[in-house]
Amino acid sequence: ETGVTQTPRHLVMGMTNKKSLKCEQHLGHNAMYWYKQSAKKPLELMFVYSLEERVENNSVPSRFSPECPNSSHLFLHLHTLQPEDSALYLCASSQGPGATYEQYFGPGTRLTVT
């Protein structure tokens, strides 16, 4: 148990659906991250939030929309996704932004776009 939870653990959605991924951290951290993990590719950093403000957006398509209402919660809103968006989406948190602070990862949401 790393103190970072993600729901749902598995999600299957059609290309016209709208869904949201949720992440919650119980560690008192100030920074939260979304990563995309695809088979045979390096982890891709998607978004970084520090004290609820977005500090990094790695040119992610607009069909992915993050929301950080407070330092404990992070959402990833999904709409009109493509099959190539199927992947494991990992949330992480750390005391501060950047890798000086150890990042603690959640178990991920396995997303399948049909």
Partner 1 sequence: GNSVTQMEGPVTLSEEAFLTINCTYTATGYPSLFWYVQYPGEGLQLLLKATKADDKGSNKGFEATYRKETTSFHLEKGSVQVSDSAVYFCALTDTNFGNEKLTFGTGTRLTIIP
Binding site for partner 1 (CB under 8 A): 2, 4, 40-43, 45, 48, 56, 90-92, 97-100, 102-108
Measured from the CB atom, the residue of 38 and 82 that comes closer to partner 1 is 38
Cβ(4)–Cβ(105) below 8 Å: yes
Measured from the CB atom, the residue of 18 and 54 that comes closer to partner 1 is 54
Residues whose CB is less than 8 angstroms from the CB of residue 8 and which lie 6 or more positions away in sequence, other chains included? 21, 109
Measured from the CB atom, the residue of 16 and 99 that comes closer to partner 1 is 99
Distance CA 22, CA 79 (A): 15
